[in-house]
Structure 1
Amino acid sequence: MQRLQNKVALVTGAGQGVGQGIALALAAEGAAVAVTGRTRAKLDETVAGIHERGGSALAVVCDVKDPDALAAAVETTVRELGGLNILVNNAQEVPLGALDDVADDAFDAGWQSGPMATFRLMKLAHPWLRGDGCIVNLASPAAMRWDAAGYGCYGAVKEAIRQLTRAAACEWASEGIRTNAILPLASSPAMAWWTRERPEEAEAFVATVPMQRIGDCEQDIGRFVATLCSEDCAYVNGQSIALDGGQARIG
């Protein structure tokens, strides 16, 4: 039996990578999925993949840094798919680099696409999620690194998302809304870029993963998110869960 039958999900940044894997996995469990992102062609690819498997999906072009676009995405999802039960805040521009090297506009883009977009979307979705809603926000194990050199700005925006997650979990649980964060390590375009641009650093990092592999966007990350949004995890709230083969220690 599909565990998310009759549920509606909105996933940001779902045209590729982790967001796409999550969208595919949610649809496989029966959810109708609003697939959002900036590039229509990528969204159409994800939607086509869901339709090929017999699932239901809708492409919604949305730049998460634009508050009006976020409001329109929620409105379109509710109107076209009949409601909203699951929100996944995945989209993120990554401000990587040493503090002296990250420009103000790059840090601001990371902030606007990460914590601000998460904050805005959670509030926009809040009225529709009451009763049986589930929010999954994406943080990062990069913020758990013992050596934060080169990851200060990226870690900062991701840790802000974790704090927003915890606040929502405490404030909205009485309304039937669960909110959790995941910290994934996956074979995404971002991971491919890192491996290409910083091969020695990437190789050394992968060697620290106890399971000695990088996660699959759908099978390892998406399927866990689908489980987290199901009744099987009805008592899980306010948690930060690393999906990284055991690399990070969250205490």
Structure 2
Amino acid sequence: MTKLTNKVALITGGASGIGKGMAMAFVKEGATVAIADLNEEVGQQTLKELQQYAPDSMFIPANLAERDKLAGIVQQVVDRLGKLDILVNNAHASKMVSIAEMTQEHLDLSFNTGFYPTLYLMQAALPYLKETKGNIINFASGAGINGDVNQGSYAAAKEAIRGITRVAANEFGEFGINVNIISPIANSPGIQQWGAEHPEEYQAMLNRIPLRRLGELEGDIGRVAVFLASEDSAYITGQTIMVDGGATKLR
């Protein structure tokens, strides 16, 4: 018996990077996964990999900034797969810029792809998660917790997500729904590209991580997501789990 047998999960930004890592970890633990992503070509490729383990898994082309279509993403999952046990709000886009240079456009990009989808997908999923006593996993970042420079719009949206997650944990707990946060440092394609372009800064970042490595997408971040989506974490809610090799130590 695997940890997520017969569970249905929806993962935003699930076509690549951390989202794909979690999706692969989920299907290997018995879940059927729906990935929602803007990149249809990559999404279809990832779907083929997921279906090797979970044939009923599905891909939903989605632009999360189109707020009026968010509830429809959840509805597609339920209509096709019959229920929803796990919601993972992973997708988020932003641009690095100093506070002095920040514009409304920068803020809109970060909040429209990160905070607002997290909020509205939680709302849309709530009736179905009540039925399954399900789990929500949202995503934060050390950029917000530590106040990384040139990350103002991203940090603001990520900390807003942390705030709404704590509220959701308090409000949804009576329904048996757990709501938690992962704050990762991961060996994503974006980090790999940045490291190749800025090798000295990349090494300095590694040196600040006590375990001296980046998290593996499936083996590290995905495994913690499996834990938070399973019965193993049934008595954990409202928490920010730092999956960052010890880079940030919450108090």
TM over 0.5: yes
Q: Which residue of the partner structure matches residue 138 of structure 1? A: 139
Q: Residues 43 and 181 from structure 1, CA distance in 2 versus in 1: closer, same or farther, beyond 3 angstroms?
A: same
Residues in 2 aligned to 1:171 and 1:201: alpha-carbon distance in whole angstroms: 42
Aligned-residue Cα RMSD (Å) equals 1.5
Q: Which residue of the partner structure matches residue 187 of structure 2? A: 187
1:212-244 deviations in Å (ceiling 9; x for gaps) = 000111110011101111011100100000101
The alignment's TM-score, normalised by the length of structure 2, stands at 0.95
**Residue 34 of structure 1 aligns to which amino acid in structure 2?**
A
**Residue 144 of structure 2 aligns to which amino acid in structure 1?**
A
Asked if structure 2 preserves the Cα contact closer than 8 Å seen for 1:96 and 1:102, the reply is no
Extract unaligned runs of 5+ from structure 1: none
Extract unaligned runs of 5+ from structure 2: none
Asked if structure 2 preserves the Cα contact closer than 8 Å seen for 1:31 and 1:56, the reply is no
Q: How does 1:8-157 map to 2 (within 5 A)?
A: 8-130=8-130, 131-145=132-146, 148-157=148-157
**Residue 84 of structure 2 aligns to which amino acid in structure 1?**
L
Q: How much does 1:100 deviate? A: 2.3
The alignment-based identity, stated in percent, is: 38
Q: How much does 1:61 deviate? A: 0.7
Q: Which residue of the partner structure matches residue 164 of structure 1? A: 164
Asked if structure 2 preserves the Cα contact closer than 8 Å seen for 1:143 and 1:156, the reply is yes
Q: Residues 96 and 245 from structure 1, CA distance in 2 versus in 1: closer, same or farther, beyond 3 angstroms?
A: same
Residues in 1 aligned to 2:41 and 2:79: alpha-carbon distance in whole angstroms: 22
Residues in 2 aligned to 1:197 and 1:122: alpha-carbon distance in whole angstroms: 37
Of residues 192-201 and 132-141 in structure 1, the stretch that sits farther from structure 2 once superposed is 192-201
- Deviating above 4 A after TM superposition, structure 1's stretches of 4 or more consecutive aligned residues are none
The alignment's TM-score, normalised by the length of structure 1, stands at 0.95
1:121-152 deviations in Å (ceiling 9; x for gaps) = 0000000001411000011112233x632122
Corresponding residue SS for 1:14: coil
Asked if structure 2 preserves the Cα contact closer than 8 Å seen for 1:99 and 1:150, the reply is yes
Q: Which residue of the partner structure matches residue 173 of structure 1? A: 173
Residues in 2 aligned to 1:160 and 1:197: alpha-carbon distance in whole angstroms: 31
In the comparison of the two structures, how many residue pairs are matched?
250
Asked if structure 2 preserves the Cα contact closer than 8 Å seen for 1:9 and 1:33, the reply is yes
Asked if structure 2 preserves the Cα contact closer than 8 Å seen for 1:95 and 1:107, the reply is no
